[in-house]
């Protein structure tokens, strides 16, 4: 991965984003930026995005089924009671099933958060190869664990696909609890990566009591190079799974156009075949090509039994499909035009998601406060639209709301 850029998002808002560029296997450069949007040097590059471990819940799910597909579908509901947020708002990425207990390692993150990282990377034309919790990029010793101390932030990697984050003061207590509760083999050694920080109180005594060796590795000025080495050897869990896989996102964008594209391609193919017939002089060839046209039409429209002119009938079916798609697009445009002005006038209101289906527009909004929702609804109603508030939930100092909007009577 010598040409891959490694970008680390900090755990604190006042910390800088780190970018590591590899000129070759012996030469690398680390730059800093205020935010991901400022990483202009990474524009057009393939990148691995290392994200804060405190934003990702690393856990495991034990599901009693031999079917891998069923087990993966059951993960959100198996973990539902352990999570504070609604599983419908969360993204679940899985690792490889552990042979010792058949448990599946799982990384859980808010869908809104991972989508934000993907959107910002897309704006910069950064091609994301993986999004990985930074705790799963620390080098892991043989039969051991690793700890990285960077100021008040501490990362603990307990296996290839598990770990946790902590603050400096609580590290010893949390590590003691992890050693008791781990279902895997106990570590025989721990690598302690740190700069000029002191070893947390009680940590060495705890490891001595548990008969666990400890190697202190200092002079870690910027851990990004260390994390690159850890990622290359044992990559952890890639969050780009399911709907967030690069291929899935492209297919999702192209899916609405698949049917008309196939229809247009078939019509063009039939026209080419028909035109080639005009240059032929053999009746047998004409008969064969016409039979091919009929076979293509019959396989495309099996419900139509009477076929007299397959080319003309294919064109008629295409025209009907275009009219259907056109009417849907007109309804979407009308609703969007009426709502956009209202939302633009509502200060502090952002649209986070849009869905249009069967003449109904669903919007997800991020508002400054709950009091700002009623004016938006009233203004939309004045546009002669039918507005239904599906949900309104407080998220910190802001409010996330879902509206269903239909065209009213004129």
pLDDT per residue as tens digits for the range 60-74: 988 887 777 888 888
Please say if the pLDDT value at position 311 is more than 80: no
Give the confidence band of 326 by pLDDT, cuts at 50, 70, 90: very low
Helix or strand run (H / E) with residue 379: helix 373-382
* Both tokens assigned to 337: 């035009």
Do residues 119 and 158 share a domain? no
Tell me the per-residue pLDDT of 87-122, one tens digit each, with 9 for 90 and over: 999 999 998 887 777 789 999 999 999 999 999 999
Do residues 10 and 64 share a domain? yes
Give the confidence band of 261 by pLDDT, cuts at 50, 70, 90: low
249 in any annotated domain: no
**Residue whose entry in the numeric block shows the structure tokens 């691995």:** 48
Relative to beta strand 360-367, strand 350-357 is antiparallel
Return the pLDDT at 34. Answer: 78
* Both tokens assigned to 213: 């060796």
Do residues 280 and 309 share a domain? yes
Give the confidence band of 348 by pLDDT, cuts at 50, 70, 90: confident
At residue 257's C-alpha, the angle toward residues 254 and 259, to 5°, is 125
Strands of the sheet containing 127-133, edge to edge, are 27-33, 17-24, 5-8, 46-51, 127-133
Return the pLDDT at 27. Answer: 59
Q: Which CATH number covers residue 342?
A: 3.30.1360.100
Cα 391 from Cα 183, distance rounded (Å): 40
Do residues 209 and 291 share a domain? no
Q: What is the dihedral of CA 302, 305, 309, 311, to 10 degrees?
A: -10
Residue 314 sits in which domain range? 256-326
**What's phi and psi for 70, nearest 5 deg?**
-65, -40
Cα 282 from Cα 284, distance rounded (Å): 5
229 in any annotated domain: yes
Do residues 343 and 363 share a domain? yes
Do residues 211 and 92 share a domain? no
User: DSSP letter at 317?
Assistant: H
Average pLDDT, the chain: 82
Do residues 72 and 14 share a domain? yes
Using a cut of 0.85, tell me whether the model's pTM lies above it.
no
335 in any annotated domain: yes
* Both tokens assigned to 70: 């069923």
Tell me the average pLDDT across 306-313: 80
Total of domains in the chain: 4
25 in any annotated domain: yes
Do residues 130 and 144 share a domain? no
Q: Considering the chain, what percentage of its residues have pLDDT values greater than 90?
A: 33
Do residues 98 and 231 share a domain? yes
Tell me the average pLDDT across 346-359: 81
Q: Looking at the DSSP assignment, which residues form a beta bridge with residue 90?
A: 110
At residue 51's C-alpha, the angle toward residues 237 and 12, to 5°, is 150
Tell me the average pLDDT across 32-40: 80
Please say if the pLDDT value at position 167 is more than 90: yes
């Amino acid at each position: 991965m010598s040409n891959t850029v490694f970008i680390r998002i900090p755990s604190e808002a006042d910390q800088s984003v780190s970018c590591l560029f590899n000129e070759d296997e012996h030469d690398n450069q680390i730059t800093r930026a205020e935010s991901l949007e400022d990483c202009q040097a990474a524009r057009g590059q393939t990148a691995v995005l290392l994200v804060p471990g405190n934003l990702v819940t690393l856990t495991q799910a034990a599901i009693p089924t031999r079917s891998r597909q069923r087990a993966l579908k059951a993960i959100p509901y198996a973990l539902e009671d352990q999570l504070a947020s609604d599983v419908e708002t969360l993204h679940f990425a899985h690792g490889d099933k552990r042979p010792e207990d058949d448990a599946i390692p799982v990384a859980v993150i808010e869908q809104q958060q991972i989508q934000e990282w993907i959107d910002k990377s897309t704006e910069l034309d950064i091609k994301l190869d993986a999004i990985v919790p930074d705790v799963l990029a620390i080098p892991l010793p043989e039969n051991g664990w690793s700890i990285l101390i960077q100021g008040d932030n501490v990362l603990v990697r307990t296996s290839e696909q598990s770990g946790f984050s902590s603050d400096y003061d609580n590290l010893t207590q949390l590590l003691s609890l992890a050693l008791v509760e781990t279902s895997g083999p106990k570590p025989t050694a721990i690598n302690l990566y740190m700069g000029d920080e002191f070893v947390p109180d009680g940590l060495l005594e705890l490891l001595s009591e548990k008969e666990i060796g400890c190697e202190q590795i200092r002079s870690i000025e910027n851990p990004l190079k260390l994390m690159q080495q850890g990622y290359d050897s044992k990559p952890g869990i890639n969050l780009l799974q399911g709907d967030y896989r690069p291929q899935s996102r492209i297919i999702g964008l192209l899916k609405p156009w698949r049917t008309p594209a196939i229809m247009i391609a078939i019509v063009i193919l039939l026209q080419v075949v028909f035109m080639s017939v005009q240059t032929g002089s053999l009746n047998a060839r004409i008969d064969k090509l016409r039979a091919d046209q009929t076979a293509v039409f019959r396989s495309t429209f099996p419900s139509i039994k009477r076929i007299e002119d397959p080319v003309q009938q294919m064109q008629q079916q295409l025209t009907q499909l275009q009219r259907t798609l056109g009417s849907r697009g007109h309804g979407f445009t009308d609703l969007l035009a009426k709502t956009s002005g209202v939302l633009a006038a509502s200060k502090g209101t952002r649209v986070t998601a849009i869905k249009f289906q069967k003449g109904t527009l669903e919007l997800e909004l991020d508002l400054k406060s709950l009091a700002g929702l009623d004016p938006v609804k009233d203004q939309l109603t004045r546009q002669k639209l039918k507005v239904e508030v599906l949900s309104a939930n407080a998220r910190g100092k802001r409010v996330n709301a879902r509206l269903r909007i239909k065209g009213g009577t004129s």
